Structure 1
Amino acid sequence: MSTAATENWDREVDVIIMGAGAAGMTAAIVSKNEGLVPLVLEKTDQVGGTSAWSVGMMWFVDSAPMQAAGFKDSFDKARKYFAGTVGTSVDASLQEAYIREGREALNYMLRNSELEVVAVDYPDYHPELEGGMFGRAHAPLEFDARKLGPHFKTLRAPLPAFAPFGGMMLDLVDLLHFLSFTKSARSFVHVMKRFLRYGVDRLSYHRGTRLVGGNALIARLYKTILDRQIEIWLRSSATRLIVDDGTVIGAEVVRDSRTIRVRARRGVVIATGGYPGSREMRQENSRKPTVELTLGLPDNVGEGIRLGVSAGGRLDHNAEDTGFYVPTSVLSSETGDKVLWGHFMLDRPKPGFIAVGKDGNRFTNEAASYHAFTLGMFDAGAIPAYLIADAAAVKKYGIGVILPGSLSLRRYEKAGYLFSGRTLAELAGKIGVDPSGLERSVARNNQFAVTGVDADFGKGSSAYNIYKGDPTHSPNPCLGPIERGPFYAVKLMPGDFGTSRGLVTGSRGEVLDHENRPISGLYACGNDMNSPVGGHYIGAGITLGPALTFGYLTAMAIAGSGQTKVGGEVSVPSSSPSKVHIA
């Protein structure tokens, strides 16, 4: 621990914000709107983080958009849902802050930024529990990236799975039209309009300018930051926190290989996105066996959390689950590149699909949420698992990276991604699964497909399951026969799209020390703070909802701290040069 003089600053601002994802951008916008001077540090050369790769959903309670759409919600209703899903694994004050303040954060951003959202008729992941309902998921409206001008290039592009054809973004409505464009004149026109717009875009831009999902969310926040002239330093990372007599007063920042000392008159916000890219932190803090595959940003290696710990903070260890999980398959190209596909909803819940372990037996409800399904893999020891379907189901719904209606599957088999067999026994031999177990599981599934009732795991028995199934299929939208070869399989491994174990904070994002006392001047939000749902996945948007909520709360807390009125002006107390150290 070395000492340093407080006068030796290269730059002074009110707030240093580490990370330009949804949480950090929200904190920056609120800080600026409340009269402060924020500085955003982004270690990469593009803004958005993992938020830009997401579907962009945000989970809020009884919001104005929900009320406008006719959804009936209340704080009490949400508390009951939290009691049944999160329980006591998270401090009650943190849960309450998210439930009550989430809608205030959203309303604030709707008034004071380019953010526009709609409450979606989408179920909580356990709608059968008391307090569960439809409507709490909020989706950002699409955004025209041409409004960003030259800054469009510094917006992180979506994952290729969300932007096929080299950069043409598609939402769920688009996907449904693509599946029907040869059968419906309306869908054909819709698809042609999308291609026309995309073709015109590529004459002038590096990818399509129609943005949806998380890319639209980040673009809207980015547009606000640009309009408000909030300073963002790209390729800049805080490497040390500067602490004066127990208060965090600044940071040493490496910017383009140069070390700069930046004073933060009011506070430092850690919002670097957790540690999905750190194998070391995963091994230390994640489930055993360690989840190896992530759809999170590889650059997010936990440096923000480590800085928080160095200043006296600590990680939460109450929750067993430390990530937001999704079953993942991997396609390896001839060049050695790997494409990771998260099996969120397009295949598992559909009729004609089952998942089995090495013994050939089903182990969980395939239509459960991606998080719950992956927990089922852990609990049953089904690692790897295999997603099984026949040719008819693969043609109609696709499987993994393979789109519906694909004319040739040979290249996927050649790459070792897809396995096939003329019989179930032949398929079982290729994937190393017990053939008798697989045949029994398929036979039992086919019985359930006739009755419409999955007597083993309840596939298609909840409103959430049914939402993810095929509404045109009966008697159960999630159950269909697997009966005519060739039969197919894709290997599934546990993956995640972010970590949920983070720094212990108070209800306004203030980082707490080992005695549960706030560390003055230090805050955390996004995946750097411990999740207010404690690693449980209770609904769509349970990462981005807290990101906006606590980004807002931390900024409001900082804006309300350390002020003394002098002659009608705000004066900030200066720091003493004593007891300064580098954390």
Structure 2
Amino acid sequence: MAGNVQGESQFDVIVVGSGAGAMTSALVAADNGLSVLVVEKSDKYGGTSSISGGGIWIPNNHHFAAKGGKDSYDKALQYLKAATGGVVPETRLRAYLDNAPKMIRHLEAKSRVRYAVAEKYPDYYQHLAGSLPGGRTLDPELFDTSVLGDELPHLRQGAPSNLLMGRIAWTARQAHKAMSREFGWRFMVLGLMLRFKLDFKWRRKSKFDRRAALGTALIASLRRSLQDRKVPLWLKTEFRELVVDGGRVCGVRVVREGREVEIRARRGVIFGSGGFEQNQTLRERYLPQPTQAGWSATPPGNNMGAALEAGIAAGAATALLDKAWWAPTIRVPKEEKPRGVFAERAFPGAIVVNGRGKRFVNEAAPYLEFVEAMYKDQQASGAKSIPAWVVFDASFRFNYAMGPLMPAQIMPDSRLRKEWLGTVYWKAPTLAELAAQIGVDPLGLEETARKMNEYARTGVDSEFMRGGNVFDRYYGDTNVKPNPCLAPVQKGPFYAMRLDAGDIGTKGGLLTNEHAQVVREDGLPIPGLYAVGNCSAAVMGLGYPGAGATLGPAMTFGYVAANHIAAAA
């Protein structure tokens, strides 16, 4: 194959991928005086990071401490050991806790990346020792994308559901205030809308806000920081294989502008190219069944597992290949990818049922555990829970969003697209008629609703304890008593929406050590090869400790990898 290679160039570090972990790697490498190239398969940069919430889970962060928050290294380590399920070496856990606070301080001191603490966003597993009711998740500030210049059209934009009214940028903190209907939320929303409306100059150019939010804000700020350092980003450059010489990774072969090109890396190659969730063959080989790439909330055609297969070919060990960052999804016709359903499941008055019309999980549970419960119920009870169905009544429909359906007080049924009825949502005057439409046992559904109505009255869900901890209540309606996550399902018409066993990326991949070096089965590193993010086996092991537990490690180990390469150089 080498004989077919045309052209050759050299850099100290080559980064494959353009998500948050990849860009952090490139930025820190450049700050260490190394020459860097970033290559990206797509015609858009940002990967799945750009369509995410952009949060990062950083124990002992300086933002929380500045507001008087109390955290400790030992408490965070205790929590991580429990949350990860004992499958991750303590050296890797400590490497994360040691470097995560340093990483965010470095970025905020030397780049355009800016974060604020989400004080109220709790760790996901409140029953585990060492968890906190808030303060470890950081939320990106809004970022003015006009500074990206000619590269703005190539920025991967977040999902419409990440924007207010599908157009207006808001932080996760602001979105939470609106969704939980905290005091003053209406005035806040009006202020955001007014800010957008008065930006006349920008609105003549685009129907979207000039400001990026959430993951798009993070990616935009990282890319602008790389522009400041004159770090090149090659789009539409597909990674094909590693160049290995004498057991050391010394470059990559890519296809660019229709030609295969070999690029040499004097110091190292860093994989930051995402998982394999869009590769149906690999999904069927590794993930639980049934599985469909079309259920994933990540961009189609990307994240095909090229880094995983190249690493295995180079002798890398792997781990956690049967795991994913699960999240239930809703398919919307004509949209590029399904939408993840994260917060809406906690709103009072929505229930999730299987084919027997029975609940099988706390609807407000973390999204990873929610989909795991879908698989477990399908296998254990024989009831069809893939897909599952979220069911709600007219009161819920009026007050709350669900997937692409904005509250009816903003977007009544008459304004919904006609083709959505029977594809995105189902509607009927009674629960029995609704059950018949979606193939669910009507008696089971009616009994489930009867139970939920009683739970709403008493405030106690005796089956799954929904609303029984601070994480559940984070997205509950603060105005609903006695339990902000429980309300009756009794007022017709009734609605249902299909929930698939989706994901926001795979969790398994190339095994790495505490320096982000890819290792062989014997634990020895493959010289010159590093992996961060979803192409590596997650440092979070079996769990999902808190919001930002994907991007936080990706960026942290990107920071670690770049510094390790620089130190070796």
Q: TM-score of the superposition, structure 1-length normalised?
A: 0.90
What does residue 355 of structure 2 align with?
Answer: 358
Q: Is the Cα–Cα contact under 8 Å of residues 10 and 266 in structure 2 kept in the other structure?
A: yes
Q: Is the Cα–Cα contact under 8 Å of residues 503 and 511 in structure 1 kept in the other structure?
A: yes
Report SS of the residue matched to 2:500.
strand
Aligned-pair identity in percent equals 35
User: For residues 198 and 421 of structure 1, do their structure 2 counterparts lie closer, same or farther at Cα, with a shift above 3 Å needed?
Assistant: farther
User: For residues 265 and 9 of structure 1, do their structure 2 counterparts lie closer, same or farther at Cα, with a shift above 3 Å needed?
Assistant: farther
User: For residues 456 and 480 of structure 1, do their structure 2 counterparts lie closer, same or farther at Cα, with a shift above 3 Å needed?
Assistant: same
* 1:170-227: CA deviation from partner (whole Å, max 9, x where unpaired): 444258559989x987346414414414654231247421111001101110111001
Q: Is the Cα–Cα contact under 8 Å of residues 85 and 536 in structure 1 kept in the other structure?
A: yes
Q: Is the Cα–Cα contact under 8 Å of residues 29 and 224 in structure 1 kept in the other structure?
A: yes
What is the letter of the counterpart of residue 401 of structure 1?
P
* 1:383-412: CA deviation from partner (whole Å, max 9, x where unpaired): 121111110111101322100122225626
What does residue 281 of structure 1 align with?
Answer: 282
**Distance (whole Å) between structure 1 residues aligned to residue 314 and residue 398 of structure 2:** 55
Does residue 139 in structure 1 map to residue 146 in structure 2? no
**Distance (whole Å) between structure 2 residues aligned to residue 21 and residue 188 of structure 1:** 30
What is the letter of the counterpart of residue 474 of structure 1?
K
Counterparts of residues 185-204 of structure 1 (less than 5 Å) = 186-187=187-188, 189-197=190-198, 200-204=201-205
**Distance (whole Å) between structure 1 residues aligned to residue 413 and residue 34 of structure 2:** 58
* 1:332-368: CA deviation from partner (whole Å, max 9, x where unpaired): 25xxx566221100x2111111111111111010111
Q: Name which one, 1 or 2, has greater alpha-carbon Rg.
A: 1
What does residue 574 of structure 1 align with?
Answer: none
Report SS of the residue matched to 2:332.
strand
Shift, 1:168, TM fit: 3.4
What is the letter of the counterpart of residue 128 of structure 1?
H
Q: Is the Cα–Cα contact under 8 Å of residues 4 and 260 in structure 2 kept in the other structure?
A: no
What is the letter of the counterpart of residue 161 of structure 2?
A
Q: 2:27 aligns with which of 23, 26, 29?
A: 29
Does residue 295 in structure 1 map to residue 286 in structure 2? no
Report SS of the residue matched to 2:338.
strand
Shift, 1:467, TM fit: 1.1
Counterparts of residues 89-104 of structure 1 (less than 5 Å) = 89-104=87-102
What does residue 396 of structure 2 align with?
Answer: 393
**Distance (whole Å) between structure 2 residues aligned to residue 440 and residue 42 of structure 1:** 52
Q: Is the Cα–Cα contact under 8 Å of residues 270 and 305 in structure 1 kept in the other structure?
A: no
Report SS of the residue matched to 1:489.
strand
**Distance (whole Å) between structure 1 residues aligned to residue 327 and residue 428 of structure 2:** 27
Report SS of the residue matched to 1:254.
strand
What is the letter of the counterpart of residue 135 of structure 1?
G
Structure 2: 5+ residue runs without aligned partners? 379-384
What is the letter of the counterpart of residue 536 of structure 2?
M
**Distance (whole Å) between structure 1 residues aligned to residue 388 and residue 7 of structure 2:** 55
**Distance (whole Å) between structure 1 residues aligned to residue 30 and residue 175 of structure 2:** 37
Structure 1: 5+ residue runs without aligned partners? 564-583
Moved more, 134-143 or 183-192: 183-192
Q: Is the Cα–Cα contact under 8 Å of residues 526 and 544 in structure 1 kept in the other structure?
A: yes
What does residue 152 of structure 2 align with?
Answer: 152
User: For residues 45 and 472 of structure 1, do their structure 2 counterparts lie closer, same or farther at Cα, with a shift above 3 Å needed?
Assistant: same
**Distance (whole Å) between structure 1 residues aligned to residue 151 and residue 135 of structure 2:** 34
**Distance (whole Å) between structure 2 residues aligned to residue 502 and residue 98 of structure 1:** 18
Q: TM-score of the superposition, structure 2-length normalised?
A: 0.92
Equivalenced residue count is 553
What does residue 413 of structure 2 align with?
Answer: 408
* 1:440-465: CA deviation from partner (whole Å, max 9, x where unpaired): 11111111111100000000001101
Shift, 1:419, TM fit: 1.4
**Distance (whole Å) between structure 1 residues aligned to residue 4 and residue 405 of structure 2:** 59
Shift, 1:116, TM fit: 1.1
**Distance (whole Å) between structure 2 residues aligned to residue 313 and residue 419 of structure 1:** 48
Does residue 448 in structure 1 map to residue 446 in structure 2? no
**Distance (whole Å) between structure 1 residues aligned to residue 102 and residue 461 of structure 2:** 42
**Distance (whole Å) between structure 2 residues aligned to residue 184 and residue 20 of structure 1:** 35
Report SS of the residue matched to 1:230.
coil
What does residue 68 of structure 2 align with?
Answer: 70
What does residue 162 of structure 2 align with?
Answer: 162
Moved more, 256-265 or 225-234: 256-265
What is the letter of the counterpart of residue 331 of structure 2?
V
Counterparts of residues 16-415 of structure 1 (less than 5 Å) = 16-121=14-119, 122-133=121-132, 134-163=134-163, 167-172=167-172, 173=174, 186-187=187-188, 189-197=190-198, 200-205=201-206, 207-292=208-293, 293-298=295-300, 299-317=302-320, 322-333=323-334, 340-345=338-343, 347-381=344-378, 382-404=385-407, 405=409, 406-408=411-413, 411=418, 414-415=421-422
**Distance (whole Å) between structure 2 residues aligned to residue 148 and residue 342 of structure 1:** 28
